[in-house]
Amino acid sequence: MEQVVLRVLRAEVRRRKCPGCGNSLRRADIEASFRNDSSIQLHFRCRFCSFEGGGEFELTPEMCREAAQIAGADGEESLLPEPVTLPELDPITADDLITVHEALAGWSGGFSQLLERSSV
């Protein structure tokens, strides 16, 4: 399930543009990992200008549930009482990203600031 969350997060980053050069981060090197049960550390590096950024944010119950629904179709650990079968797992659809997107709303709002802080 955690891997799904990270995968969704990476997909979210790829939808954004590099603050450094404005190019899409679709090809950026992206690393996402859990710092603890409820916190994720995200890092990326633009392949065009080598801009590096990222940050840490809280994992919300909604995100866990969203990921659980996706992971449920994999037959892996699911937090749902009943297995949920999704028609497609790959690629992640926009709907799959809605919850994450909402969770990142505040984060993305200060995206540039977050990136600047990450260089500390």
Nearest distance, CB of residue 96 and Zn ion, angstroms: 26
Positions that interact with Zn ion (CB under 5 A): 18, 20-21, 46, 48-49, 51
Strand residues in the chain grouped as ranges (E):
29-36, 39-45, 52-58
Q: Which CB sits closer to Zn ion, 48 or 107?
A: 48
For Zn ion, give the closer residue by CB, 26 or 65: 26
Task: State which residue, 38 or 112, has the beta carbon closest to Zn ion.
Answer: 112
Q: Smallest gap, in angstroms, from Cβ of residue 46 to Zn ion?
A: 3
Helix-, strand-, coil-residue percentages of the chain, each rounded to 5? 40, 20, 40
Q: Considering the complex, state which of residue 34 and residue 111 has its C-beta at the smaller distance from Zn ion.
A: 111
Kindly report the number of other CB atoms within 10 A of residue 120's CB atom: 4
* Rounded least distance, CB 72 to Zn ion, Å: 36
Shortest spacing between CB 75 and Zn ion, in angstroms? 38
Per the CB < 8 A criterion, the answer to whether 43 and 54 are in contact is yes
Which residues sit opposite 35 in a β-bridge?
none
The residue with tokens 């079968």 is 85
